[in-house]
Amino acid sequence: MTIDKRKSYYLTIDTETANGLEDPMMYDLGGCIHDKQGNVYETFSFIIYDIFCADRELFNTAYYAEKRPMYEAQIAAGQRKIVSIYTAKRHVKELCEKYNVKAIIAHNARFDYRSTNYTLRYVTKSKSRYFLPYGIPVWDTLKMAQDTICKQKTYIKFCQDNGYMVRGRVRATAEILYRYIKCDNDFVEDHTGLEDVLIEKEIFAKCMAQHKKMRKDVWSK
C-alpha cells in the first residue's frame, strides 16, 4: 500500500488490564491507524504474553478474567496474536514511524498511558520505563468529547432521556458516546482491545468533524 503523505494519520489504542485500577497491567492491546475521518489503514490485536501466559495469577485479577476461553479460541483461530511486551512496543514504534503518526489517541488516555508504562516497568524491572514512542502527542477522546459532543443539546437530551447522568452531568463513556453517534441505544461495548479501538476512533472522527476548539492533550486540564 502506498501511503498518502499529504494525509495526517493517527494511532488509537485501547488496553484491557489486570491488577486493579491503580497499577494496571495490560494483557490485551488493540490498535488502529486511521485518518481524521476515521478511515482505517492498519489494525493489530495483541495479547501480551508476559501477563496473559507467563503470569496467569496476575491475569486472574482482571475484571474480565472470565473471557480467557474466548481469547484462547481467538488466538487459536488467528484472530489475535500473542506477543511479548517488547514486540508490542516495537510494533507501535514502527507503525508510528511508517505513518508519521500525528498523535496517539485513547479514550480516558491517562489510564492507557499508565497501563502501558506500568506493564513495561513490571516486566523489565524498570529497565525500560516508557512504552509509547517519545515525542508523539497523546490525545484523549474523553476530553475532546466533553468539549464538543457533550455540549450539544441533542446529546444532553439523549443522556437525560436514557438515564446517562451522574450528579446532573452527562456521562461520556465510549459506549454511551458511540450509542449516540450511531443512533443505536442497544450497542454494548466488547471490552476487548481492538474492538473498543474501532468505536473510539469513531468518537475521535465525530469530535474532529465539529471543527470546534477542544482540549486534546492527555495532560490538559
Q: Which residue shows C-alpha cell 497523546?
A: 138
| C-alpha atoms less than 13 angstroms from C-alpha of 39 in its C-beta half-sphere | 8
**N- to C-terminal Cα separation, the chain:** 39
Q: What is the pLDDT of residues 141-158, one digit of tens each?
A: 999 999 999 999 999 999
Question: Residues of the chain whose pLDDT is less than 70?
Answer: none
pLDDT for position 86: 97
Crossing angle (nearest 10°) for helices 85-99 and 109-124: 130
DSSP state of 29: E
Please state, in angstroms and as integers, the Cα–Cα distance from residue 205 to each residue in 42, 107, 134, 185, following that order. 16, 13, 24, 19
Look at residues 112, 109, 123, 111 and name the one whose alpha carbon lies nearest to residue 52.
123
Sheet holding 138-140, edge to edge: 81-83, 40-48, 25-34, 10-18, 103-106, 138-140
Q: What is the pLDDT of residues 65-105, one digit of tens each?
A: 999 999 999 999 999 999 999 999 999 999 999 999 999 99
Angle value at C-alpha 91, between 85 and 93, nearest 5 degrees: 105
Q: Which three cell numbers stand for residue 153?
A: 443539546
pLDDT for position 180: 98
Distance in angstroms (rounded) separating the CA atoms of residues 26 and 15: 6
Look at residues 12, 2, 4, 7 and name the one whose alpha carbon lies nearest to residue 198.
12
pTM (two decimals):
0.96
